[in-house]
Copies of this chain bind each other. A is one copy, B any other.
Amino acid sequence: MADSTMGSDAPPPIPPRNGVNFARPRNFVTKFASHAKETFLPDDPIRQFRGEDHSTFRKAIEYFIPVFEWLPRYNLKLFRFDLLAGVTIASLAIPQGISYAKLGNIPPIVGLYSSFIPPLVYALFGSSRHIAIGTVAASSLLIAETIEVVVSAKDDPQLYLHLVFTAAFVTGVFQLILGFLRLGIFVDFLSHSTITGFMSGTAIIVCLQQLKGVFGLTHFTTKTDVVSVLHAIISNRKEWRWESAIVGICFLTFLLSTRALAKKKPKLFWVSAISPMVVVVVGGFFAYLVHGDKHGIQIVGNLQKGLNPPSIHFLNFQSKYFAAALKAGLLSGTLATAEGIAIGRSYALANNYQTDGNKEMIAFGLMNIVGSFTSCYLTTGPFSKSAVNFNAGARTAMSNVVMALCMMLVLLFLAPLFSYTPIVALSAIIMAAMFGLIEYEEAYRLYKVDKFDFVICMGGFFGVTFVSMDVGLFISVGLSILRALLYIARPSSCKLGALPDSTLYRDIEQYPTATETPGTMVLQLGSPIYFANCSYLKERITRWIRDENDMANSKGSVVENVLLDMGGVTTIDMTGIETLVEIKKTLDIKGIRMGIVNPRVDVLEKMTLSNFVDKAGKECFFISIQDALDYFRFSLVGSQAAKTQQHPDEVL
Contacts and interface: CB of A to CB of B under 8 A. Distances in A.
Given A44-B543, A527-B491, A573-B191, A586 B349 contact: yes
Nearest to A602: B492
Interface in A483-501: 483-494, 499-500
Given A38-B490, A570-B568, A542 B509 contact: no
Contact of A193 (B510, B531, B586, B590): B531
Interface stretch (A9-17, A113-121, A247-255, A628-636): A9-17
Contacts of A335: none
Contact of A18 (B357, B504, B573): B504
A619 interface: no
User: Which of A18, A28, A39, A524 has the most chain B CB atoms inside 10 A of its CB?
Assistant: A18
Contacts of A487: 488, 528, 530, 571
Contacts of A32: 451
A506 interface: yes
A23 interface: yes
Interface size class of chain A, counting residues whose CB lies under 8 Å from the partner chain: 35 or more
A517 interface: no
26 contacts: A1-B509, A1-B547, A6-B509, A14-B513, A15-B513, A42-B536, A42-B540, A42-B543, A185-B532, A188-B533, A189-B485, A191-B532, A192-B573, A354-B542, A445-B610, A448-B609, A449-B574, A450-B574, A484-B532, A487-B488, A488-B488, A491-B570, A492-B571, A507-B600, A509-B601, A568-B568
Interface in A197-253: none
A494 B488 CA distance: 20
A157 B535 CA distance: 41
Interface of A: 1-2, 5-6, 12, 14-15, 17-18, 21, 23, 28, 32, 35, 38-39, 42-44, 184-185, 188-194, 345-346, 349-350, 352, 354, 357, 445-446, 448-453, 480-481, 483-494, 499-500, 502-504, 506-507, 509-513, 524, 526-528, 530-536, 539-540, 542-543, 547, 567-571, 573-575, 577-578, 582, 585-586, 589-590, 598, 600-602, 604, 606, 609-610, 623-624
A101 B48 CA distance: 67
For the complex of A and B, list the 10 residue pairs with the smallest distance between their C-beta atoms, beginning with the closest.
Answer: A568-B568, A191-B531, A192-B575, A526-B570, A510-B601, A449-B609, A527-B527, A43-B539, A42-B539, A449-B610
A540 B14 CA distance: 28
A491 B568 CA distance: 11
The complex is assembled from copies of this chain, and their number is 2
A487 B509 CA distance: 29
Given A484-B485, A510-B601, A502 B18 contact: yes
Contacts of A604: 510
Contact of A623 (B190, B350, B480, B506): B506
Given A492-B571, A574-B453, A575-B192, A185 B349 contact: no
Contact of A574 (B188, B357, B446, B569): B446
B534 A600 contact: no
Contacts of A188: 489, 531-536
Contact of A573 (B189, B450, B547, B585): B450
B507 A601 contact: yes
Nearest to A187: B535
A606 B450 contact: yes
